[in-house]
Amino acid sequence: QRCWKVLIRSPPAPMAQEEYTPDGPLAREIAANLPYFPYKKIDRFYDIGGLLKQPALFDKACEALAARYRGQQIDAIGAFDARGFLFTPVAIKLGVPLFMLRKGGKMPNAISGKGYTTEYDSKDGLNIQRDAIKPNDRVLLIDDLIATGGTLCAGIELVHALGGTVVECACLVELKALGGDAKVKAAGGHGCWALVSESVLTVPGQLVEGYVDDGEGH
């Protein structure tokens, strides 16, 4: 008679708070995998593709984001088009619904916000689906990086339009010199928490001979 062995993997141990301290040991390990390139006419464009090549470390990054918000009664997470979608695992780890904040013409049953500006250029308003959240929902907004805060503020506007409250915004990286956190607070987003700042992002990308900055707005 054939006997099958079943392996049951135990859940990971809870992350200690010091592991998700901004610019702490985990943040520095992540920063070592976020090289910068001259791109979109910006001297230092941080490439999250380096982190995605390290699945175990990327999982730790998502766990650090999730750990901050456990026990805070988050009802839904809003992720921004497009790199914010990479952080869907945070919603899975917290066991809460995720909704998308997208460019116009990408989703049915949506409302549009006002135009906004980023460190790159001016943008048309973002869209949110009408049933993404309910009135009085406590919402966490998540993206890969905060610079000037324009994108996050556009998302806050849409959450407020549907009657929700933005508990906080969360990003993997914050470029503090650009003052985005203050703009998020002024927009009613209660600030932006980030794991990594530009002070520990020191790894230049390796430029091939003939490298060309061919970046466009997104």
H/E stretch holding 167 reads: strand 165-174
Task: Tell me whether residue 119 is one of the annotated catalytic residues.
Answer: yes
The separation between CA 65 and the C-alpha centre of its own chain, rounded to angstroms, equals: 9
Q: Which of 29, 44, 83, 138 is catalytic?
A: 83
Q: Strand runs (DSSP E) across 51-137, as ranges?
A: 76-80, 98-101, 110-112, 116-117, 122-123, 127-129
Q: Which of 18, 119, 198, 209 is catalytic?
A: 119
Let me know: does 169 contact 191? Beta carbons within 8 Å: yes
Residue 145, CA distances (Å) to 18, 34, 164 in order? 21, 12, 23
Residue 55, CA distances (Å) to 3, 22, 138, 184, 196 in order? 33, 20, 30, 30, 18
H/E stretch holding 145 reads: strand 138-146
Would strands 76-80 and 98-101 be described as parallel, antiparallel, or unpaired? parallel
**Residues noted as catalytic:** 83, 119
